Amino acid sequence: MWQLYQFPLCPFSRKVRLLLGEKGIGYEPVRESPWLRRDEFLDLNPTGQVPVMVDTDRGVALIDSTVICEFFEETVDKAAMLNGTAVDRAEIRRLVVWFDSNFFRDITAPLLEERMIKRLVHRTAPDARALRDAMKAAVGHLDYIDYLLDHRTWLAGPTMSLADLAAAAQISIADYLGGIDWKSHEQAKRWYVGMKSRPSFRPLLSERMDGIPPPSDYDKLDD
Amino acid sequence: MWQLYQFPLCPFSRKVRLLLGEKGIGYEPVRESPWLRRDEFLDLNPTGQVPVMVDTDRGVALIDSTVICEFFEETVDKAAMLNGTAVDRAEIRRLVVWFDSNFFRDITAPLLEERMIKRLVHRTAPDARALRDAMKAAVGHLDYIDYLLDHRTWLAGPTMSLADLAAAAQISIADYLGGIDWKSHEQAKRWYVGMKSRPSFRPLLSERMDGIPPPSDYDKLDD
Query: Which residue does chain B place closest to A54, by CA atoms?
Result: B87
Residues of A in contact with B42 (CB under 8 A): none
**A64 touches B at CB < 8 Å:** yes
**A67 touches B at CB < 8 Å:** yes
Which residue in A22, A155, A93, A168 sits closest to B74, CA to CA? A93
Q: Which residues contact B140 (CB under 8 A, 6 or more apart)?
A: B106
Q: Tell me, what's the pLDDT at B144?
A: 97
Chain B nearest C-alpha distance from A93 (Å): 6
Nearest Cβ partner for A66 among B75, B97, B102: B97
**B64 touches A at CB < 8 Å:** yes
Phi, psi dihedrals of residue B5, rounded to the nearest 5°: -80, 125
For A169-216, the pLDDT digits (tens) are 999 999 999 999 999 999 999 999 999 999 999 999 999 999 999 999
Question: Which residue in B58, B62, B83 has the most chain A C-beta atoms within 10 A of its own C-beta, making it the best mutation to test that interface?
Answer: B62
Q: What is the mean pLDDT of residues A156-179?
A: 98
Q: What is the mean pLDDT of residues A69-75?
A: 98
By three-state DSSP, how is residue A125 classified? Answer: coil
Greatest extent of chain B over all pairs of C-alpha atoms, in Å: 50
**Interface contact flag, A93 B66, Cβ < 8 Å:** yes
The one-letter code for the residue type at A176 is Y
Q: How confident is the model at residue A221 (pLDDT cuts 50, 70, 90)?
A: confident
**Interface contact flag, B101 A47, Cβ < 8 Å:** yes
Q: Tell me, what's the pLDDT at B46?
A: 94
Predicted complex ipTM exceeds 0.90: yes
Chain B nearest C-alpha distance from A216 (Å): 34
Which residue in A51, A42, A88 sits closest to A69, CA to CA? A51
**Interface contact flag, B67 A98, Cβ < 8 Å:** no
Sign of the four-CA dihedral A98, A52, A170, A223: positive
For B144-166, the pLDDT digits (tens) are 999 999 999 999 999 999 999 99
The one-letter code for the residue type at B14 is R
Which residue in B136, B14, B122 sits closest to B68, CA to CA? B14
Low-confidence ranges of chain B (pLDDT < 50): none
> Which domains does chain B carry?
2-75 (3.40.30.10), 86-205 (1.20.1050.10)
Structural contact between residues B49 and B58, judged by C-beta atoms closer than 8 angstroms: no
Structural contact between residues B4 and B53, judged by C-beta atoms closer than 8 angstroms: yes
Nearest Cβ partner for A87 among B60, B87, B89: B60
For A49-65, the pLDDT digits (tens) are 999 999 999 999 999 99
Q: Tell me, what's the pLDDT at A223?
A: 58
Q: What is the mean pLDDT of residues A82-103?
A: 98
Stated as kind and residue range, the H or E segment containing B2 is strand B2-6
Q: Tell me, what's the pLDDT at B221?
A: 84
Which residues 85-124 in chain B show a CB within 8 A of chain A?
Answer: 86-87, 89-90, 93-94, 97-98, 101-102
Question: Which residue in A52, A70, A100 has the most chain B C-beta atoms within 10 A of its own C-beta, making it the best mutation to test that interface?
Answer: A70
Q: What is the mean pLDDT of residues A160-167?
A: 98
Q: Which residues contact A136 (CB under 8 A, 6 or more apart)?
A: none
Query: Given strand A27-31, what is the order of strands in its sheet?
Result: A27-31, A2-6, A52-55, A60-63
